[in-house]
Amino acid sequence: MKTKNNRILKDKTFDKSRWIQMPRDVIAGHDALLQLPNVITDLGITGPLLLLSGKTTMQTTGSAILRLLEGRQVVSAVVGEITYEEIARIEELAQAAGIVLIIAAGGGRVIDTAKVVSYNLDIQFISVPTAASHDGIASSRASVMTEDGSVSVAAHPPLAIVADTGILAAAPRRLMAAGYADMVANYTAVLDWDLSKEKTGEQVSEYAMTLSMITAELMVENAENVKAFDEKAAWIVMKALFASGVAMSIAGSSRPASGGEHKFAHMLERLAPGKALHGEACGIGTIISMILHKGDWQKIRRSLKTIGAPVTPKELDISDEIVIEAILRAKEIRPERYTIFDEEITRDQAASLVAWLYEE
């Protein structure tokens, strides 16, 4: 792994200064993908490119990108699960081909993989989301699956984002509903950060908290518009996903967008792999967390129901027992991150929390 001077600076903790990294170019809207060649030219990048995509998305957006970049040297690779092994495989490929820029076209896992490889090899990357399913599109953090569960690691934010609302609107509706739920999760993520400040003295960023909270509020206010799952809806959700990513970059951690509801979601993914999309699990975690915080959980539940995101384990084909287990074991994920799930919850309490999910 290369260690450049700027990496040393970036990783160093300064008492009185902060290093915030943000994307430089953001191109969003109808047919935005067609601008990709211009974006690369604008960035002044010449040399071999690496296109990363998923199994499905390589055949659609990935292929379209290869056509758009005809005449340039492009190596392509399909990314699987996001694990350290997979990251190492892509790093070897990038180094062997002398790659100067990565283009990540896919869902959250593809983009997170590119982010980590970009950071580790000090190569820039462009984020081309194919689904409005997560708020990692712009953030400088990545979530990596390990044997001990999900870990949040330092990564590069994209140098540019090319978000084509036509592509996002054409993706399965379930994906945009998941992105919506990942945003609604910001409500309880912020409440947990505040709770941790009170209980553990953790430092918070008021700016990051406010920005994160606004994105959640905008989602709830726009539930009826998002429900259409058209390009306008993609635009609304995309803007919020972007802003939430910026909140994470300001904070220098995923804290403003990931609290106990995310710890629950990561545990659920471990206990019932492949059943729920990340955002879907976070949505259910948010309802549970809001009940624990004694906040307006019905508002969260109503808004998720409006856009068709799941609000019960049954809708995800997951048993109530597994969800109870995920509530009780959420604290095992990132124990250093204090949230309401780290307070004492008995099995009976967890069971009644799950029962509340089914209440009309």
Ligand X SMILES: O=C(CO)COP(=O)(O)O
Residues 72-101 that bind ligand X (CB under 6 A): none
Tokens 């008021």 map to which residue? Answer: 206
One residue of 86, 91, 182, 231 binding ligand X per CB under 6 A = 182
Q: Does 136 bind ligand NAI (CB under 6 A)?
A: yes
Q: Residue 277: name its binding partner from ligand NAI, Zn ion, ligand X, none (Cβ under 5 to 8 Å by kind).
A: ligand NAI
Stretch that binds ligand X, among 56-64, 122-130, 227-235, 251-259 (CB under 6 A): 251-259
Q: Does 258 bind ligand X (CB under 6 A)?
A: yes
Residue 103, classed as helix, strand or coil, is: strand
Stretch that binds ligand NAI, among 13-21, 277-285, 311-319, 336-344 (CB under 6 A): 277-285
# chain residues binding ligand NAI, by CB under 6 A: 31
Residue 6 CA to residue 15 CA, distance in Å, equals 18
Q: How far is the CB of 34 from ligand X (least distance, A)?
A: 29
Residues 195-224 that bind ligand NAI (CB under 6 A): none
- Kindly report the number of other CB atoms within 10 A of residue 4's CB atom: 10
Nearest CB to ligand X, comparing residues 255 and 301: 255
Name the token pair of 93: 């490929």
Residue 210 CA to residue 206 CA, distance in Å, equals 6
Q: At what angle do helices 278-292 and 347-357 cross, to 10 degrees?
A: 110
One residue of 86, 112, 164, 182 binding Zn ion per CB under 5 A = 182
Q: Which residues pair with 51 in a beta bridge?
A: 76, 103
Q: Does 131 bind ligand NAI (CB under 6 A)?
A: yes
Q: How far is the CB of 78 from ligand NAI (least distance, A)?
A: 10
Q: Does 56 bind ligand NAI (CB under 6 A)?
A: yes
Q: Mask 137-176, x = binds ligand X (CB under 6 A)?
A: ----x-x------x-x------------------------
Residue 348 CA to residue 212 CA, distance in Å, equals 32
Radius of gyration of the chain (CA): 20
Q: Does 61 bind ligand X (CB under 6 A)?
A: no
Q: Does 112 bind Zn ion (CB under 5 A)?
A: no
Nearest CB to ligand NAI, comparing residues 145 and 236: 145
Residue 252 CA to residue 86 CA, distance in Å, equals 25
CA proximity to 84, closest of 150, 8, 11: 150
| Under 8 Å between Cβ of 75 and 50 | yes
Q: Residue 178: name its binding partner from Zn ion, ligand NAI, ligand X, none (Cβ under 5 to 8 Å by kind).
A: ligand NAI
Name the token pair of 308: 């068709």
The span from the first CA to the last CA of the chain, in angstroms, equals 53
Q: Which residues pair with 52 in a beta bridge?
A: 77, 104
Strands, E, within the chain: which ranges?
25-29, 49-53, 74-78, 101-106, 124-129, 141-146, 149-154, 160-164
Stretch that binds ligand NAI, among 101-109, 184-192, 198-206, 223-231 (CB under 6 A): 101-109
| Under 8 Å between Cβ of 67 and 92 | no
Per-residue DSSP letters for 46-81? -S-EEEEE-TTTIIIIIHHHHHHTTTS-EEEEE--S
Q: Does 165 bind ligand NAI (CB under 6 A)?
A: no
Q: Does 254 bind ligand NAI (CB under 6 A)?
A: yes
Nearest CB to Zn ion, comparing residues 164 and 182: 182
Nearest CB to ligand NAI, comparing residues 23 and 279: 279
Nearest CB to ligand NAI, comparing residues 134 and 331: 134
Residue 33 CA to residue 305 CA, distance in Å, equals 32
One residue of 47, 80, 98, 172 binding ligand NAI per CB under 6 A = 172
CA proximity to 327, closest of 340, 312, 309: 340
Contact residues for Zn ion (CB under 5 A)?
182
Contact residues for ligand NAI (CB under 6 A)?
54, 56-57, 82, 106-110, 112, 130-131, 133-136, 139, 141-143, 167, 171-172, 175, 178, 182, 248, 254, 277-279
